[in-house]
A and B are shown apart, each in its own frame.
Chain A
């Protein structure tokens, strides 16, 4: 299945992308995505990021569905 990943802040700088589509196995979860991304972009593991799926921050391992929008969010600095 295809999932969309969005990168923000320092993560879009590291990956040199704002967004990309990944083709992944159908039963994949948020941990699998993390592994793929760290393999592709090793230095993202130095960033204390959180993951949002469809604009909600996930606390636990999340089973992904086709067309889910994943966002990697580095520490916030609004205000």
Chain B
């Protein structure tokens, strides 16, 4: 059974910087029981809606419930998969097209379980965590996004 992590801050204001992701990887160099890291990054797409492109997504959330749901996803993932550690970060506020809005980082001894756990976490976040994305178009009109299930 994997080691349980303390509840951590999930939400980050704005896009998740590449440097933050790099630093997260570097922090694992001391954990030499890990043989596989699996990283999933969600990026904001400049989808076309009619004639206009999405220039950003403004994320809002029912933060207290979202943190509780993510805590449960974390606990269940540790129970279900033999992983060493797990980090989940999601943006809140405005994220421009091309920026990272979701960072899921799973580590385990061997690769197979890291792929499975990563997929599981991302699907659970999309289905269970109350996060709402407002797609802001080029002319500053907007459309509320829905996850495809």
Binding site for B on A (CB under 8 A): 6, 8-10, 13, 52, 55, 71, 73-79
Contacts and interface: CB of A to CB of B under 8 A. Distances in A.
Contacts, number: 67
B147 A75 contact: yes
Centre residue among B42, B66, B134, B146 by max chain A CB count within 10 A: B146
Given A9-B60, A9-B132, A52-B130, A76 B65 contact: no
Interface of B: 42, 59-62, 64-66, 68, 90, 101-102, 122, 125-134, 144-147
B96 to A, nearest CB: 17
Nearest to B143: A10
Given A9-B144, A10-B144, A55-B68, A77 B133 contact: yes
A70 to B, nearest CB: 11
